[in-house]
Amino acid sequence: MIRKATLQDLDQLTLLFDKYLVFYKRPSNIEKQKLFLKERIENNEAIIYIAFDEKIKDKAIGFTLIYITFSSLLLNKMIILNDLYVDSSIRKSGVGEKLILQSFKLAKELGVDLVRLRTAKNNIIAQSLYLKMGFERDKLSYTFDYLIK
């Protein structure tokens, strides 16, 4: 089952979020991560979908964190599928695909033309899922980041 996350899901969501960040070599900081997620939910700054195990209904197994923004080129809203994580014990079971489909459903509901995501260059498993789901690698632009210190 996949549904929109609420504050009642915060503990389980934070544990999954921590695993996601550790996967990307970020330090574990449960308190800070929980506050970050709580603020996104309370301030309606993100839409978070959480997936639960079909057999153990109250066990969270994955999530996606989505931001709604705008595209000047499209003259419309767009969705940034910023974070997607499925617990390693249940990967390749279709949960990631269902979470992505949920983001597509949201896009249609909002009249959004584009769902965008980024992933690490070495995250080949995720890349194959994204290509399978119809995402295309951007051939026209590069992403540049500047980290404020």
Residue 137 resides in a domain:
no
d(CA 129, CA 101): 12
Residue 49 resides in a domain:
yes
Residue 141 resides in a domain:
no
d(CA 138, CA 149): 29
Domain count, the chain: 1
Task: Express each pLDDT in 113-140 by its tens digit.
Answer: 899 999 988 889 899 999 999 999 988 8
Q: What is the DSSP letter of 28?
A: P
Residue 26 resides in a domain:
yes
| Confidence band, pLDDT 50/70/90 cuts, at residue 147 | confident
CATH classification at residue 49: 3.40.630.30
Task: Express each pLDDT in 58-105 by its tens digit.
Answer: 889 999 999 999 999 889 999 999 999 999 887 778 999 999 999 999
Average pLDDT over all residues of the chain:
93
Q: For residue 53, what are the domain limits?
A: 2-132
Residue 22 resides in a domain:
yes
Residue 145 resides in a domain:
no
Does residue 15 sit in helix, strand or coil?
helix
As given in the structure block, the two tokens for residue 125 are 């498993």
Residue 89 resides in a domain:
yes
Q: Would you state the pLDDT for residue 90?
A: 79
pTM: 0.91
